[in-house]
Structure 1
């Protein structure tokens, strides 16, 4: 019985009982299931992380595309605004030139009208002066018979001019 007094024997017996108890209580299956569950959870977390990474990359690509589009749109808006401003400036310049031309023409017309009025006034004054001078000459130099003959000639010339 030396076999029972040997401590190594008791260690071996305790080990066999321990392993038997573990197998009886299905610890390896439970641990395997727990490890499988943990592995499945880790795999699900990795899949979710990969999905989130893909979504983040897609969002980043979309953001970069939107930024490029926004830059292009801003550049197009600036170009269009410059074109509109140039068109407005050209139109304003043309309108100003047309307005100045109208004012010049109006000024020329007013000057021509004033000139025509001045000429008419000078002619009127000259005609009045000529009539007054003729009246004075007729009154001082012609006798009665010559006056009558002159009046008759004038009346007949007016009559022929009116007909």
Structure 2
């Protein structure tokens, strides 16, 4: 009994006995079991959250792809609209130039006709004056005067 190893062994058995008496191994087991269950629940929750995140990722990828398609469609429509507007503007410009050209040609033709009429009128006036002076020199008297005036009036009426 004087051996210290013996007393250490006795103290150890008493300590283990007290531990069992107060239910420490059961509590430790319960705590380990509850901790294991909590860890398993957390793992299940993490797995569920990962699956949800993967679903959300797939949804967002699908939405992104749809948005890219929509953006490409908008760009395509905008290009088509721009081309259409450009062709309409070109057509309007060509029509405007055509109308301006036609208007200018009409004004030129009108100016030519007016110039021709003025030249003709000037030629008629010159011819009338020349024939009046020739006739006045050739025919004399009152009869000649009335004949010249009447003839000149007839010529003016016919030439104009």
Shorter-chain TM band: 0.7 to 0.9
Q: Do the aligned partners of residues 85 and 155 (structure 1) sit closer, same or farther apart at CA in structure 2, a change above 3 Å counting?
A: closer
Residue 35 in structure 1 maps to residue 14 in structure 2: no
Q: CA RMSD in A?
A: 3.2
1:101 maps to 98
Shift, 1:99, TM fit:
0.8
Residue 88 in structure 1 maps to residue 118 in structure 2: no
- Runs of 4 or more, structure 1, over 3 Å off, are 9-20, 151-158
1:26 maps to 23
Whole-angstrom distance in 2 between the partners of 1:74 and 1:15: 78
TM-score, structure 2 as length reference: 0.79
Whole-angstrom distance in 2 between the partners of 1:156 and 1:122: 19
Shift, 1:59, TM fit:
2.4
Residue 131 in structure 1 maps to residue 128 in structure 2: yes
Whole-angstrom distance in 1 between the partners of 2:45 and 2:51: 10
Whole-angstrom distance in 1 between the partners of 2:72 and 2:149: 93
Q: Which runs of 5+ in 1 are unaligned?
A: none
How many aligned residue pairs are there?
A: 154
Pick which of 23-32 and 12-21 moved more: 12-21
